[in-house]
Amino acid sequence: MADGHRSREGSRAALIALIVVAALGFAAAVIADWPGHFPPDGLTQLAQGRAGVFNAWHPPVLAWLLGVADRIIPGAPLIIVVQALLFFAGVAGLAAAARPGWGAAAMTGLIAASPIVLVYQGLVVKDVLFADVALFGFAALALATRAWERRLARGVLIALALAGFILAVLARQNGVLAAGAGVLCLAAVAAAKARTGPTIRRFVIVTVASAAVVGIGVASAGAWFTAHGDHRPERARQWSVLALFDLAGAARRDPTLPLPLLHARDPALEDFVRRDAARAYDPDRVDTLAGTARWGRYMLKPNPLLDAQWRAMLTASPVAYLAARTEVFGRMFAPADEEDCAPVLVGVDPANPALLRAAGLAARETDKDDWDADYEDQAVHSPIFSHPAYALIALVLLAWAGWDLRRRGRPEMIATVGLLASALAFTASFTVISLGCDFRYLYFLDVAAMAALVQRAGRVRPPRRSPRPG
C-alpha cells in the first residue's frame, strides 16, 4: 500500500514537473521571439489580414488570424503566443495522456532549449501554425482517451481535437492528411472504448460523424474566406505553376522530352517551356521561373493547356517526371547544405517597402534578432535541423507506439500512431507537390517526432529494486 501511494505521488510530481517545464519553455519562446519573425509570406498574409481581403495563394486562415491579432496589438505579435501555446500544450498533453515519468519533463526541457523550437516558434508562416494545431489536435484526442468515462471532459477534449483538425486543413493545403488520420484515430478510440455492441459499426459511425464535423467546419470557413477574398483563381494557378515546374525540370533533364499537346496547340508555349523555363529551372526554387521574360504572358492566370500536358507527361514520360520529382524532394528532405533551404529567417524582411507599409511593419534586425540567428546557426548543420533524423525517430517511435497499442492495450497510443503516421504521410506528399527547398515545409515531421519523443521519454521507468530479505 505504501509503495502504491509513493508511486502515485511520484507520478503526480512528474506530471507537475512536465507542466512547469512546458510553461517555462512557452515563456522562453515568446520572450526570445517577440514580436515575431516575418519573412515575405508572413508579411503578405499580415497585409491581407489588415485589409480584410484574402488571396488564396496561401490558405487564408493565417491571414485572418493575423488580422485579428493586429487589431489587438498592432504588428500581430500575439500570433507567436498562440503558436507557442499550441505547441507546448500539445507536447505536454500528449505526454500527460501516457502518465509520464520524470523523463518527459527532462526531454521537454531539451527540446524547448533547441533552436528548432526556441527560435522557430516565432516564425510567422502557415507551416508553423499547421504543425502546432495538428499536434494540438492529436494531443487533445490522447487526453480524451484518459477522460473517456467523464462525459463532459471527454466532450470538451474531442471538440478541441476536431477544432485542431479543422484548423489544420485550413492552414495547409495537404493538412487534410493530418485531419483524416485524426478522424480515423477518434473512431478507433471510440471502438476500443465500447463496452457493448459491434465495434466495427461504432467505428464507421464515429468516422462518418467526425468527418462530417470537420468537413462542415472547413467548408463553412472556406465559404467565408471566399466571400472576403479577392476572387483571383490562385488555387487553380498553383496547379499550373506546379505543371510548369515539373515540365521544365523534365525538359531540363531531357531536351528531347515529347510535349505533343503544346507542340500541336501552342508552339510558342512549348518554346517557353523548352527554352526559358528549362534554362531557368532550379530544383531548389520555383522563383527562378518567375524571372523569365515570358512568365507574365503564360503564368499570371491558370493555364489549362500546361495542366493537360503535365497530366499527359505522367503517363507518356513517367521516368522523366519521377527523376525530376526525386531530385526536388531529395534536395528538400536532405539538402547538401541546410542553409540552402532557409532554415530560419529572423526579424522582418526588408526587401519590399510597399509590402511593409501594407503590413504596418518596419524592417527589423535588432540585437535580439541577431542572437536568434546566431543561436540557430550553431545548430543548423547538426541533427537538430535534419529532417531525415526526425523521420528515423518518427519511424522508430511509430513502431514502438504500435507495439504498446497491440500488446499492452494502451488506447492513448492510438493518437500517437495517428500523429506520427500522418506526419510521415504529409512528408511523403511533397514528393508530388513540392515547388522547391524550404525547411519549414516539413516542420510538422519534426514537431511530431519531438512530441512523441517526449512521450516516450516519460514512459521510461527506472528498474524496481527488489526488497531485501528480512
Beta bridge partners of 388: none
Please tell me the predicted confidence (pLDDT) of residue 465. Answer: 52
Q: Is 99 left (phi over 0), alpha (psi -120 to 50) or beta?
A: left
Please report, as a single letter, which amino acid is at residue 175: G
Instruction: Work out the mean pLDDT of the chain and round it to a whole number.
Output: 92
Average pLDDT over residues 177-201: 88
Give phi and psi for 37, each to the nearest 5: -105, 120
Task: Give the list of residues 6+ apart from residue 270 with CB closer than 8 angstroms, or none.
Answer: 259, 262, 263
Determine the Cα–Cα distance for residues 76 and 38; give it in Å rounded to an integer: 10
Given a cut of 50, is residue 470 above it in pLDDT?
no
370's grid cell: 541577431
Q: What is the DSSP letter of 98?
A: T
Task: Count Cβ atoms below 10 Å from residue 416 Cβ, excluding itself.
Answer: 31
Please tell me the predicted confidence (pLDDT) of residue 193. Answer: 85
261 and 309 Cβ atoms separated by less than 8 Å: yes
Task: Give the list of residues 6+ apart from residue 107 with CB closer than 8 angstroms, or none.
Answer: 453, 454, 457, 458
| Of residues 186, 237, 195, 126, the one with CA closest to residue 418 | 186
| Of residues 236, 304, 287, the one with CA closest to residue 57 | 236
CA separation (Å) from 167 to 190, 202, 420? Answer: 22, 25, 18
| Of residues 358, 53, 378, 354, the one with CA closest to residue 232 | 53
CA separation (Å) from 445 to 132, 229, 357? Answer: 11, 31, 34
246 and 238 Cβ atoms separated by less than 8 Å: no
CA separation (Å) from 365 to 30, 145, 373, 409? Answer: 17, 45, 10, 52
Given a cut of 80, is residue 1 above it in pLDDT?
no
144's grid cell: 480524451
Task: Count Cβ atoms below 10 Å from residue 124 Cβ, excluding itself.
Answer: 28
Given a cut of 80, is residue 45 above it in pLDDT?
yes
User: Which of 84-88, 89-93, 197-201, 241-245 has the lowest average pLDDT?
Assistant: 197-201
Element (H, E) at 321: helix 318-333
DSSP secondary structure of 135-169 = HHHHHHHHHHHHTTTSHHHHHHHHHHHHHHHHHHH
Question: Residue 463: CA atoms inside 13 Å, Cβ hemisphere, count?
Answer: 3
Q: How confident is the model at residue 404 (pLDDT cuts 50, 70, 90)?
A: confident
Give phi and psi for 216, each to the nearest 5: -65, -40
Q: How confident is the model at residue 10 (pLDDT cuts 50, 70, 90)?
A: low
Please tell me the predicted confidence (pLDDT) of residue 458. Answer: 86
Q: How confident is the model at residue 5 (pLDDT cuts 50, 70, 90)?
A: very low
Given a cut of 70, is residue 35 above it in pLDDT?
yes
Task: Give the list of residues 6+ apart from residue 271 with CB closer than 8 angstroms, or none.
Answer: none
Determine the Cα–Cα distance for residues 340 and 350; give it in Å rounded to an integer: 20
CA separation (Å) from 169 to 59, 128, 211? Answer: 9, 13, 12
Alpha-carbon Rg of the chain, whole angstroms? Answer: 24
What sign results for the dihedral spanned by CA atoms 213, 216, 217, 219?
positive
- Give the three-class secondary structure for 149: coil
Q: How confident is the model at residue 208 (pLDDT cuts 50, 70, 90)?
A: very high
Given a cut of 50, is residue 316 above it in pLDDT?
yes
Q: What is the pLDDT of residues 104-162, one digit of tens each?
A: 999 999 999 999 999 999 999 999 999 999 999 999 999 999 999 999 999 999 999 99
Q: What is the pLDDT of residues 50-74, one digit of tens each?
A: 999 999 999 999 999 999 999 999 9
Q: How confident is the model at residue 411 (pLDDT cuts 50, 70, 90)?
A: confident
Q: How confident is the model at residue 338 (pLDDT cuts 50, 70, 90)?
A: confident
Query: Of all residues in the chain, what percent carry a pLDDT higher than 70?
Result: 94
pTM: 0.93
125 and 42 Cβ atoms separated by less than 8 Å: yes
Please, what's the b/e burial string for 64-93 (b: 16 or more CB within 10 A of its CB; e: otherwise)?
bbbbebbeeeebbbbbbbebbbbbbbbbbb
- Give the three-class secondary structure for 194: coil
Average pLDDT over residues 75-80: 96
Please tell me the predicted confidence (pLDDT) of residue 304. Answer: 96
DSSP secondary structure of 162-179 = HHHHHHHHHH-TTTHHHH
330's grid cell: 531529395
